[in-house]
Chain A
Amino acid sequence: AQSVAQPEDQVNVAEGNPLTVKCTYSVSGNPYLFWYVQYPNRGLQFLLKYITGDNLVKGSYGFEAEFNKSQTSFHLKKPSALVSDSALYFCAVRDMFSGGYNKLIFGAGTRLAVHP
């Protein structure tokens, strides 16, 4: 079965510094990987996805993610953190329903706290 792991419950970073939120995956076949963000009292919002091709994927709000097949990782990154980036971040991997439809398997989430 497909799965993702987010090894850090919380990441703390100072505003202006680069940030990394880690995700590792376990899949059979080609991985289709996603990052979502959840702001307080809101639903999840799509940030970016990796399907195939370039290992560096660019997404919304200046975020990017690096796919590394040998390390089975898909870490989320941003060169310069903002206080407004403080939120809960979820990594997800696509799995398949019977009948060929998609579903997403989510990690437990990592809380990002950016301090002024």
Chain B
Amino acid sequence: NAGVTQTPKFQVLKTGQSMTLQCAQDMNHNSMYWYRQDPGMGLRLIYYSASEGTTDKGEVPNGYNVSRLNKREFSLRLESAAPSQTSVYFCASSSPLAGLAGPDEQYFGPGTRLTVT
């Protein structure tokens, strides 16, 4: 049981390049999330997928797109990278209590450290 896995671990891009960050979970969780972590700002939600087949914008969606490929996988795409997207990106998953949006903990992947020059 690997939990939440992310690839790649590190990436350096030039401004204007594109890339996709991959995330997969093996806990049969319904909900998946993408966050970015910047110093002094905590974690900010980029996009989320409440359940398979749905995606929605979080706090800071500009410059990103997502795909919920199936229940396990949730990818984040940068179409045209900018230096402001230099950050550490975390994927997380969670499973609401049955039938209701009960309080639940999120499980995080190890992160992708992205630098855009």
Contacts and interface: CB of A to CB of B under 8 A. Distances in A.
Interface of A: 9, 32, 34, 36, 41-46, 49, 51, 90, 94, 96-104, 106-109
B4 interface: yes
Interface stretch (B60-68, B75-83, B99-107): B99-107
A102 B4 contact: no
A98 B56 CA distance: 10
Interface of B: 4, 31, 33, 40-45, 48, 50-51, 56, 58, 90, 92, 94, 96, 100-111
10 contacts: A43-B110, A44-B43, A44-B106, A49-B103, A96-B101, A100-B100, A101-B31, A102-B101, A104-B106, A108-B41
B90 A32 contact: no
Contacts of A42: 110-111
